């Protein structure tokens, strides 16, 4: 396993910035290892925690947030352990994946209660500021139970931000959001990251993180598979070999013709048709019709194979 | 009123399960009124209504619903995370929740028991039953609150304690009565208002000391367990 070269931090750490450190962190349940020897350091800026379902992202986030003891290793925020240490919540905010809110409260009451529990000097002002930050001021006096999913999510973010934490952890914050809400949330996270906050969000959908400009940590099967600059990983992802199943009027002739195409890295011929490996998705799909036309072959079927998230992530691991 | 107790109370009264609290006390009062108006001898209806229904059923069941509701319900639906991600020492979460549980249970149980006690015997018995059941509410609430942190099925385990241990085993194995909150409540009430209607099996000092021990012990246990509260390992 290789690690993709890590980029320098996007923003220079400010004096008040916090660092979340994971040193050789593992967590197992009986015989099942959920998180396996993960070491990472999170500094200011936006970091995406990527991985397929069941990769251990939530377990890792729970350990970061002090809701789970590491079986081995240590999670520290500015040198203090997060486990059994409620004091860290002065600097840390968590938006968990479970959409659990006190639906009988209004957004304002809910965020205000958070501010009061944080013993903020001016809880009303802090609640209004946090609600304005997520642009929920118009609906703040309605019961949370009447909100759409995106609005509930923003309310939860407001509650997690009410004490202006240095570190904000979000577990699958884009789940169930429409593209507009997603963009809005991403912009909010970036504003916070640019202001020197340490922001970590998890996601199992690659496309969700397309707008991220920061760092990406990729988890596969409990291990930290890759970490580094998002653009590098994105390039690796677009340039990964793609596999297509092709059926045509003359498979053998098409196979010969395809081997001359630069984007094609391999062709396999069997009774079912052709299995074509291409290095560049776009170049191959543009070239295929031209090649077929030039040789008088009709393509009956073109299906990309092997597009599962797991295969993309495991490709990243091998890259 | 602290923010924790405010949220706890709103959550408790906002849930439908709270309505389950109402019928039992009403039945207790209705039975007492009925027996009294029909002129039945209090020696006949007193023990089954005051003890058999009031102290053996209404008190523990109300305390169970409320005691597992103040924290267990929040653990079930995940809203507890909002309170736990605050820089509060964990006792500042457990104690307000315990206070709400004790207050609600005691008020729900003490009032009908007071009425039934007055109808059966005297104001003194009514006050004794009310005071003793309030102490019982404290012990039960501490027990059930702690249960919701040590098991995922606090209601079931609580019912097993109330029905099997206190209700059933007490009839066959007299030793189990020493560890029965219900028996302590009876002993304490009988001490405050000695009456033929209550038959005690535990001495008053034992009842007093054990009530205090259970209340404090399970509260301390709950605080410690909340310190190491782990979110269930569900991955998505």
Question: Across residues B159-175, what is the average pLDDT?
Answer: 88
Spatial separation of the C-alpha atoms in residues B196 and B190, rounded to whole Å: 9
- Which residue's entry shows tokens 């209660």? A113
Q: Which class does domain A240-318 fall in?
A: alpha beta
Q: B234 lies in a domain?
A: no
Spatial separation of the C-alpha atoms in residues B115 and B29, rounded to whole Å: 7
pLDDT at A15: 44
pLDDT at A248: 93
Residue pair A277/A265 in contact by the 8 Å Cβ criterion? yes
Residues of B in Cβ contact (< 8 Å) with A113 = 3, 6-7
Question: Across residues A42-68, what is the average pLDDT?
Answer: 92
Question: Across residues A262-277, what is the average pLDDT?
Answer: 90
Look at A65 and B83 and tell me if their CB atoms are within 8 Å. no
Residues with Cβ within 8 Å of residue A156, at least 6 apart in sequence: A95, A99, A101
Asked if residue A252 has pLDDT above 90, the reply is yes
Residues with Cβ within 8 Å of residue A25, at least 6 apart in sequence: A35, A37, A38, A39, A60, A63, A70, A72, A73, A74, A75
Q: How many domains does chain B have?
A: 1
Asked if residue B233 has pLDDT above 60, the reply is no
Interface of B with A in 138-197 (CB under 8 A): none
pLDDT at A185: 87
- pLDDT bucket at A309, cuts 50 / 70 / 90: low
Question: Across residues B73-102, what is the average pLDDT?
Answer: 94
What pTM did the predictor assign?
Answer: 0.84
Asked if residue B234 has pLDDT above 60, the reply is no
Q: In 3D, which of B92, B227, B147, B219 has the Cα closest to residue A69?
A: B227
Spatial separation of the C-alpha atoms in residues B186 and A119, rounded to whole Å: 43
Spatial separation of the C-alpha atoms in residues A241 and A264, rounded to whole Å: 9
Q: Which residue is closest to B223 within chain A, CA to CA?
A: A84
Query: Which residue, among A94, A113, A309, would best test binding to B if mutated, counting the most B CBs under 10 Å from its CB?
Result: A113
Q: Which residue is closest to B229 within chain A, CA to CA?
A: A67
pLDDT at A9: 38
Indicate the residue of A58, A89, A113 with minimum beta-carbon distance to B85. A89
Number of neighbours of residue A1 by Cβ within 10 angstroms: 9
C-alpha B20: how far from chain center: 14
Q: B109 lies in a domain?
A: yes
The per-residue pLDDT of chain A, averaged, comes to: 86
pLDDT at A256: 93
pLDDT at B25: 95
Q: B233 lies in a domain?
A: no
Q: B236 lies in a domain?
A: no
Asked if residue A307 has pLDDT above 80, the reply is no
Between B6 and A233, the more confident residue is B6
Look at B86 and A113 and tell me if their CB atoms are within 8 Å. no
Q: Which residue is closest to B15 within chain A, CA to CA?
A: A104
Q: B170 lies in a domain?
A: yes
By mean pLDDT, which of A9-18, B95-104, B184-193 is the weakest?
Answer: A9-18
- pLDDT bucket at B219, cuts 50 / 70 / 90: very high
Residue pair B203/B187 in contact by the 8 Å Cβ criterion? yes
Indicate the residue of B10, B77, B88 with minimum beta-carbon distance to A100. B77
- Which residue's entry shows tokens 């309030």? B134
pLDDT at B227: 95
Q: What are the structural domain ranges in chain A?
A: 20-237, 240-318
pLDDT at A144: 92
Residues of B in Cβ contact (< 8 Å) with A34 = 233, 235
pLDDT at B235: 39
Spatial separation of the C-alpha atoms in residues A36 and A28, rounded to whole Å: 8
pLDDT at A314: 67
pLDDT at A318: 66
Asked if residue A3 has pLDDT above 70, the reply is no
Instruction: Judge whether A140 is closer than 8 Å to chain B, CB to CB.
Output: no
Look at B227 and A84 and tell me if their CB atoms are within 8 Å. yes
Question: How many CB pairs (< 8 A) connect A and B?
Answer: 88
Instruction: Judge whether B230 is closer than 8 Å to chain A, CB to CB.
Output: yes
Instruction: Judge whether A205 is closer than 8 Å to chain B, CB to CB.
Output: no
Look at B78 and A98 and tell me if their CB atoms are within 8 Å. yes
Token digits of residue B201? 């099996």
Spatial separation of the C-alpha atoms in residues A105 and B4, rounded to whole Å: 14
Q: B106 lies in a domain?
A: yes
Q: What are phi and psi of A76, to 5 degrees?
A: -130, 145
Q: Classify domain A20-237 by CATH architecture.
A: 3-Layer(aba) Sandwich (3.40)
Look at A53 and B6 and tell me if their CB atoms are within 8 Å. no
Instruction: Judge whether B17 is closer than 8 Å to chain A, CB to CB.
Output: no
Token digits of residue A283? 């170049």
Instruction: Judge whether B232 is closer than 8 Å to chain A, CB to CB.
Output: no
Q: Which residues constitute the domain of residue B57? A: 3-227
pLDDT at A310: 62
Determine the distance in angstroms separating the CA of A278 from the nearest CA of chain B, rounded to an integer.
Answer: 32
pLDDT digits 0-9 by tens, A146-185: 998 888 888 999 999 999 999 999 999 988 778 888 888 8
The separation between the first and the last C-alpha atoms of chain B, rounded to the nearest angstrom, is 38
Look at B85 and A94 and tell me if their CB atoms are within 8 Å. yes
Residues of B in Cβ contact (< 8 Å) with A97 = 236
SS3 state of residue A165? coil
Interface of B with A in 210-229 (CB under 8 A): 227-229
Question: Across residues B134-141, what is the average pLDDT?
Answer: 98
Residue pair A165/A92 in contact by the 8 Å Cβ criterion? yes
Spatial separation of the C-alpha atoms in residues B47 and A300, rounded to whole Å: 88
Max mean pLDDT range (A208-222, A244-258, A274-288, A301-315): A244-258
Determine the distance in angstroms separating the CA of A113 from the nearest CA of chain B, rounded to an integer.
Answer: 6
Q: Which residues pair with A273 in a beta bridge?
A: A270
Spatial separation of the C-alpha atoms in residues A273 and A269, rounded to whole Å: 6
């Amino acid at each position: 396993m290789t690690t993709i070269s890590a980029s320098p931090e996007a923003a220079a750490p400010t004096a008040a910035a916090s660092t979340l450190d994971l040193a050789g962190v593992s967590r197992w349940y009986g015989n099942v290892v959920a998180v396996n020897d993960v070491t990472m350091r999170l500094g200011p800026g936006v970091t995406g925690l990527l991985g397929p379902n069941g990769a251990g992202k939530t377990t890792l986030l729970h350990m970061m947030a002090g809701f789970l003891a590491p079986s081995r290793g240590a999670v520290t925020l500015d040198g203090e352990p997060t486990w059994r240490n409620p004091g860290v919540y002065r600097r840390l905010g968590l938006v968990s994946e479970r959409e659990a809110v006190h639906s009988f409260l209004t957004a304002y009451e809910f965020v205000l209660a958070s501010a009061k529990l944080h013993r903020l000097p001016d809880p009303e002002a802090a609640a209004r500021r946090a609600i304005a930050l997520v642009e929920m001021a118009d609906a703040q006096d309605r019961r949370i139970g009447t909100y759409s999913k995106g609005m509930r999510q923003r309310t939860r973010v407001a509650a997690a931000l009410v004490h202006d934490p240095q570190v904000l952890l979000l577990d699958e914050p884009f789940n169930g959001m429409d593209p507009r809400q997603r963009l809005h949330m991403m912009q909010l996270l970036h504003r916070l990251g640019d202001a020197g906050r340490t922001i970590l969000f998890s996601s199992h959908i690659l496309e969700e993180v397309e707008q991220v400009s920061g760092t990406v940590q990729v988890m596969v099967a409990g291990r930290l598979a890759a970490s580094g600059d998002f653009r590098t990983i994105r390039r690796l992802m677009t340039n990964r070999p793609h596999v297509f199943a092709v059926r045509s009027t003359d498979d053998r002739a098409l196979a010969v013709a395809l081997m001359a195409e630069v984007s094609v890295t391999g062709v396999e011929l069997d009774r079912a048709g052709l299995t074509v490996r291409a290095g560049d998705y776009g170049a191959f799909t543009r070239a295929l019709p031209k090649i077929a036309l030039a040789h008088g072959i009709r393509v009956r079927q073109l299906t990309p194979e092997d597009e599962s998230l797991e295969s993309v992530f495991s490709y990243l691991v091998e890259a | 009123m602290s923010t924790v107790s405010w949220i706890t109370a709103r959550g408790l009264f906002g849930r439908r399960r709270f309505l389950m609290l109402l019928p039992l006390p009403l039945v207790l009062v209705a039975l007492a009124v009925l027996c009294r108006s029909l002129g039945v001898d209090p020696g006949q209806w007193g023990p089954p209504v005051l003890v058999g229904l009031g102290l053996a059923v209404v008190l523990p069941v109300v305390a169970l619903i409320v005691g597992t509701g103040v924290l267990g319900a929040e653990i079930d639906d995940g809203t507890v995370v909002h309170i736990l991600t605050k820089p509060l020492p964990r006792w500042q979460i457990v104690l307000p929740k315990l206070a709400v549980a004790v207050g609600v249970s005691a008020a729900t149980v003490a009032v009908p028991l007071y009425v039934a006690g007055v109808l059966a015997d005297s104001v003194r018995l009514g006050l004794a039953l009310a005071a003793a059941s309030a102490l019982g509410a404290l012990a039960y609430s501490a027990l059930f609150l702690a249960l919701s942190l040590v098991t995922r099925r606090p209601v079931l385990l609580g019912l097993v304690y109330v029905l099997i241990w206190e209700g059933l085993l007490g009839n066959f194995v007299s030793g189990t009565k020493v560890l029965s909150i219900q028996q302590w409540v009876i002993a304490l009430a009988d001490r405050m208002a000695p009456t033929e209607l209550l038959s005690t099996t535990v001495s008053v000092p034992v009842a007093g000391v054990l009530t205090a021990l259970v209340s404090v012990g399970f509260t301390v246990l709950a605080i410690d367990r909340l310190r190491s509260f782990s979110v269930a390992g569900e991955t998505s």
